[in-house]
Amino acid sequence: MKQIMLILFFVINLLCNYSWENGAFMNIQGTLLVPINFDTIAKAEKSGFYEIILPKGTVDRLYFSDDRYEKYMYPSMKKENFFCVAKKKETGEFVLLKVREGEVSELMNSDKEIHFPVVSEDLNSIWYLNYEKNENKIASKNSEWNIISLWKYNRKTGTKEKLFDDHINFSSAILVTPDDSIILTQNSDEVDGYSKIILVSPTGDINVLLAQANSPAWYEAGKSILYRDVKKQINKYDLETGEITNLGSDNRWWYSSVVSPDKKYLVINDYALLYVFGGERDNQLKVISVDGKVECAIKFAKRTSDIMWLK
C-alpha cells in the first residue's frame, strides 16, 4: 500500500508540475510582446518583437522588426505609438525608436545602452537609466561596482541632464507620475540591506514612499502601484491616499513585474535558488496570478523589462 501511495504521489506531483509549466491550470487569455534575438528555440526567422499567446506560450507572429537594427529591448506603448530600444547595426549606437503606422523614427541616440526609457505624452521628454563602471571602487561593503544614474533627455534642446544617482536599484523599472516625479527602487546602505521605493520630485526632493519594499509597477497608471515588501507580500499602494491593500503573497525570488491589463496577472523574473558550478543563479520568466497562487513559464525571454502586455 505504501508503494502504491508513493507512486500516486509521484504521478500527481509530476502532472501538477507539467500543467503549471504549460499554463493548463491558468484561466488566462492574453498576448505578450517579447523580443526574440536570434533565438533558435523559438525558431524565429529574424530578430524582432514577437507576439506570444498565453497560456501555452507559443510564438504567434512577428510584430515589429527592421533590418537596420538588432538587440531589441524595452517595448512600450503610448496611444498609437510603439516604442523600443534597439542597437543600430551601422554605427553600434543604441537608439530609442518610435513606430507608428509602419513609420520608424529615432527619438534618441546614445553610445551607451538605454535602460527603462519612459517617453512623455508630448514626446519631448525621455527619462531613462544608465550605468557605468565605478572607477573609484574601493574595498568597502558600501561601495558599488556600477554607478546607476537617472537621466532626462530634452528632445527640443537636445540636452541630457542627470537627475539622480544615489544607490539606484537596477532590477526594476522607473515609473513617471503625471507631475513628472519619478518612482524607483533605491538600494539601502544600511546594515539591514533592505531596499525602499522612493519618489524623486521634478525639483530633486526625495521622499520615501515605502520602506523595505521593491519591484514597483503600475497597477493603475498614474494612480496606484503594485509592489512587494520584505515579507514577500504583494501589495497595492494608492499614490493619492497612501492606502495599502494586500493582494496576496509569493515565496518566489523576484525583483520586477509587469501587470496585465485586467490586473489579474503579473509577469515576473523568477530567480531560481539553484546555484550551479561557478556560483551563477538561473532565472526564468513566469506569469503568476496577482495573489501568487498559480504560474506558467515563458521560454523565450529572460527579463521582465523586455515584456509588454499587448492585450
Q: Are 118 and 127 in contact (CB under 8 A)?
A: yes
Mean pLDDT of 190-209: 83
With the CA atoms of 72, 274, 259 and 98 taken in that order, what torsion angle do they form, in degrees rounded to the nearest 10?
-10
Please tell me the predicted confidence (pLDDT) of residue 239: 95
Mean pLDDT, rounded, of the chain:
80
Does 64 have pLDDT greater than 90? yes
Please tell me the predicted confidence (pLDDT) of residue 81: 95
Q: Are 70 and 86 in contact (CB under 8 A)?
A: yes
**CA distance between the termini of the chain:** 49
Please tell me the predicted confidence (pLDDT) of residue 256: 80
Give dist(CA 82, CA 148) in Å, integer: 26
Does 311 have pLDDT greater than 70? yes
Specify the residue for cell string 520602506. 211
222 vs 59, 167, 182, CA distance in Å?
31, 24, 11
> Given the DSSP bridges, would you call strands 146-154 and 125-133 parallel, antiparallel or unpaired?
antiparallel
Helices (H) and strands (E) in the chain, counts: 1, 24
Does 40 have pLDDT greater than 80? no
Give dist(CA 226, CA 238) in Å, integer: 9
Burial 258-275 (b: 16+ CB within 10 A, else e): bbbeeeebbbbbbeeeee
Backbone φ, ψ for residue 239 (5° rounding): -70, -30
Does 193 have pLDDT greater than 70? no
Please tell me the predicted confidence (pLDDT) of residue 43: 55
Specify the residue for cell string 526609457. 117
Which tops the pLDDT comparison, 128 or 23? 128
Give dist(CA 86, CA 37) in Å, integer: 11
Q: Find, among 112, 46, 119, the residue nearest to 82 by Cα.
A: 119
Rg (CA), the chain: 21
Give dist(CA 276, CA 227) in Å, integer: 29
Q: Find, among 255, 258, 254, the residue nearest to 306 by Cα.
A: 258
- Tell me the whole-structure pTM to 2 decimals: 0.82
Lowest mean pLDDT among 46-55, 61-70, 185-194: 185-194
Does 17 have pLDDT greater than 50? no
Backbone φ, ψ for residue 228 (5° rounding): -125, 135
Q: Are 217 and 225 in contact (CB under 8 A)?
A: yes
Q: How many CB atoms lie within 10 A of CB 241?
A: 9
Which tops the pLDDT comparison, 222 or 281? 222
Mean pLDDT of 1-9: 44
- 261-288: pLDDT as tens digits: 999 998 887 765 444 445 555 567 788 8
- 134-189: pLDDT as tens digits: 655 543 444 455 678 899 999 999 999 999 887 888 777 899 999 999 998 888 76
Q: Are 177 and 222 in contact (CB under 8 A)?
A: yes
| 195 band by pLDDT with thresholds 50, 70 and 90 | confident
- 247-262: pLDDT as tens digits: 998 887 777 889 999 9
- 72-105: pLDDT as tens digits: 999 999 989 999 999 999 999 999 999 999 999 9
Please tell me the predicted confidence (pLDDT) of residue 286: 82
Specify the residue for cell string 491589463. 261
Give dist(CA 62, CA 145) in Å, integer: 38
